[in-house]
Structure 1
């Protein structure tokens, strides 16, 4: 594990070093690319050529302006100079080098003259220099239209310039060295100066020794800087020294031993605490399987097993209560079934009696009694039937029977109409849901009137059956409509039929169905019944299970 951890840390360390040297290399490359562009621009400047070649003093200020404008971006990290063909500094972004002289027979100017189309970069320690604090120079010749060298563009960098250029590109842990092609040190950070990194590398290289071992020991990373002839060296101390590794191995060994001893003690303790209560619970569950619902687990433990035993005792108690309640409910159901079968005898007797009265009334030409008895018998026969679902056509027939009875009873002349949109009379509805609502319309809506209108409108929309019962009677107060629409039976008052119909529909089909009431603009009340639209095979199935 330690070795894996060490390998991971070392890989991350190497990746950080590579990223660090990449940032340094990118910063220097961008700088020298910009210097190359600026030197090319000045080399092609007619103003610079004219000033150096013709020694036209009138253009001196313009030349300075051109020099400062071209180098504005880089003056923080370098100084720029224009030298004459004789090696004398004529223009400079630093007043310290004005009128100083560089040799033309050697050094940077000689190297630039030998390669007139290139930006030549040299460390100052390669040649004698009048400026002791300058570490690096880059130069390019200035040519006239005939191709003759008439001066030089020189870029100089000091230690402070390198620090400004490389600011924020490396960590404070890193030692940075910039070497020339002969592996002379051009620039070093303070940690690198203390470790003599550049000197050590050059000595080993001069002796022909392999640098790979030194790189592994000291975490060196060397990278050439493009075609500049310079080399970048980055060194960072190892994260894991030999002493640190030994300490980590020792600590790990001690912790492993202590962990092993602790695991043994804990495993013995856990084993003793787990096996016994598990065995107890297993035996208790076996007794419950055998039907002994009075089984309980007695324990004084307050841990998870104590809680489990308590929940087991609660479960067996509830299971015992549930079984007793089921037995009691089954007995009550059996008693109810017997009572229901006995109760069905009396309605059948009443129906048969009503049928006899109907035929006696017909025989004596008393049409009203015959109609009353026939309608009442039909309603009674449907109410005592075992099926809970009937067709819409049958339900509307029951409502018509009730209307016939009410017309004879009150002698009213109200109009009763039914409108059905589409072929939907065979859809399935709960029985006796329209008659109570028609009854409310007659008794409450048309109260005190001998005329009036009651209309039933049946439509199907979005797989829902909508039955609207409207009257043009006295209407209903806003408070009463709110009470009925609240679906609170206690607030329904005398409109118990409305509440019962709504409860029957919601219990069978869910809360999205039911009954609602609203006012009619021209006066009166409208009751709307929403049911699921059930036709065809679904209707036969629903009617079967509804019965």
Structure 2
């Protein structure tokens, strides 16, 4: 247990407090508990970490495999739609009937228009209409009964186009107005897939307020001599081609985004995408069109994303699924939280068992410690000092306890002998201090009496001898505590003796609060201070003034002795302050010195009586000032209130 003195000392020094706390925690229970807990923590952490890494890898692999499967399925669905467009275009391109009827249609249309222009007969026009009907039937058959595409157009290279689907019949067009015309004419790959465009004509056939987009696949149309004779356009609704991507975007639980772009880095899906935003994602496709799963850091959002890339050599389109890693791996995070929670619960239970095991071992030691801590000096060797039987179940600890009980009996006898010896030594030193007198004071007093006798100063001799007699009687009387008024009275007699010697050169003042008159204080505690003040004041040019003031502040009393001398030297103050700080720090009082009632002796005597409540201050002002004091509870004090008068001599 830390005493009050130790507690105050520890609070004053943080380093000492940390040292005490560290020492306090170095006990058997804490060492056993920390050792068991550390072993459990290491083993458990390794097992949990291994299990978490294994399970997290499995969950991560499942999540990425699922994402890759979604991306591949989406790419397959998109390719399937473009295969339908391509199959229809190939059916038309390789159909000789389509070639023949399209050539005849173009020639008959030209002839019929020229004949009509010259008012010829209408036979050519009738043939043109008949050929157009046959061409329509052939194109319908080429598309197929299931109509996998919505619209088919045949273009010549001049200005005529024939449609089959929701838009049937002949139309005219300007090649320079078609953005795809030059690309198709210079295309060497066979087919050309144009980016999506708003299609007002197809929008009319959909019961929706939103404008519909369409995509077209183009091919050059060759005659039987392998000479280009026109262009085939097969058209389909954009929403139908990318239905799988639209459905996935709307319904996926990860809030993933889908991006489709071609080899020219033109965004195909979504139609209103910001190219600057998606451009970093498109750079992840290799030059050879490689695919796979890759991690990506989005600088805009500041979070990691996982990309599932799939490239189609058939269409030249790349499909990218962009999903936040935190959302995709949310099951993994949930698993991690649950694993950590369960691990903490198991760990806490393990540590609790460790604590109980350490407690089971150290409880008997604590009982012994408690018995030793609560044992008082007067209980040593008595029945009160012997604690109940330990009965710890551990033979070694039971034997240790009974050895302690026997030791306490022997210690009691040794302590009694030691205390008696120390008490006798202290009493002898106090008596020696009380009977000690400064030989210079006696010599000077006797010399003064001799001089006054030669001068026939009988009245002064009587006064001095009376004061000297009273002072010596007080000095040699038994008792270590006296009323403050007695100490003040004999201190005044001491000054009166010296005043007869020095005459008007010496002045002294007493100002003592009446409430302090009955206060019990150590004997010869003020007079040595006055003697010390007189000693140093007389080294200065007269007049010499000594003031003694006694006051009450809160629950403390204090007496101040001040002189008008040169004050203490810095070396003396530093040496005395060092000795006092050493006593306060170690709480070890040095032996009282028999070579004089010095200031350190006075401090030691005050410390013995008042402990940490001791008031002891030394300062230099106009002269030297010494203040001593303590608590009022240490001695009796009268009930009279008021303030005493000032005596000046």
TM-score by length of 2: 0.35
Structure number with larger C-alpha Rg: 2
Report 1 or 2 for greater relative contact order, CA contacts < 8 Å, sequence distance ≥ 6.
2
TM-score by length of 1: 0.40
